[in-house]
Amino acid sequence: MKKIILLFLTIAILSGCGLTPVQQEAVSRFAKASGAIGEISASSFSQSRDAVVKMNLMSIAVKGKASIINLDGSLNPDDILQRISAATSLKSYGELLVALAENTQEAELKEASDNFVDSFKTVSNKKLTDEQLESLGIIVREIGGLLVEYKKAQAIKKIVLETEDDVQLICTLLENEFDKHYPGVAKEFDDTINRLKADTDIALAEEKGIQNRLIAIEAYQFATTNKEKLNDLAKKIRSLVSSLKKANTQLVSAIKNESHSISDIRAMGTQFKELSDAIRVFSGK
């Protein structure tokens, strides 16, 4: 009888050793933010490549400098997939934290865990080894039976602490990709725009036929409009990713119980509407 009572007392004590309300809020807010940023970034990479191809075709139409054998510039499918993988890993990380923080079934937890492990393995120069990632996945997959909330809390703490450096790394990669001064997607996009504008300037100065001039005018308008969209989108994504880096540091402090402030995490919510609007403008939807 004493053993049974002791068992129930142990279960009761451990059941109360989950996340504190502050930790719970920090995890939930950060998880949704990181997931959304990852998804938005991945989508932006694909849309940027499509726009670069279209602008290079326009350049060819006005007898510009673009080459038919290199329509996507430095944004070839393999490189774009690598960038999308990095963004997707951030998305899967957020989705895993959401699954752990909320009332999620075992099958859904396993799926979120597998997606997280598989996507993080593709991140270049990551700190965690594949074996360490597999170990984190095993911890999540073993959640079940008694003390579920306690096990979830322990899994969240371990995952947040062990992925801290790699989450910061991914954020830095995304910041650079949307910086026109760094050899990434934004720079290739901007360079393509500038080349197309130069091509159309020459075409409008030399072409006499009305049809060719209309093609050049359309290309010039497309380049000008996309430059404005790119500047707005890149600025907002960089700002939000920078905020996510600060929020990640704050999340780690909250998990360690070093701080009860999650102001940076809470502040991110107000930035999403602006970014969502910029995405819609950029994609033309």
Of 240, 112, 236, 90, nearest to 170 by C-alpha is: 90
Q: Is the pLDDT of residue 48 over 60?
A: yes
Q: Output the CA–CA distances (angstroms, integers) from residue 266 to 20, 102, 118, in the order listed.
A: 16, 18, 29
**Position 249 pLDDT exceeds 60:** yes
What amino acid occupies position 174? L
Q: Is residue 54 scored above 90 in pLDDT? A: yes
This prediction's pTM: 0.84
What is the pLDDT of the chain when averaged over all its residues?
Answer: 85
Q: What is the largest CA-CA distance in the chain?
A: 99
* pLDDT(41) > 60: yes
Give pLDDT, residue 32.
87
Q: What is the pLDDT of residues 179-238, one digit of tens each?
A: 999 999 999 999 999 999 999 999 999 877 889 899 999 999 999 998 888 888 888 889
Half-sphere exposure of 193 (CA within 13 A, CB side): 21
Mean pLDDT of 134-153: 84
What span, in angstroms and rounded, lies between the C-alpha atoms of 226 and 137? 42
Q: Which pLDDT tens digit goes with each residue over 100-121?
A: 988 778 888 899 999 999 999 9
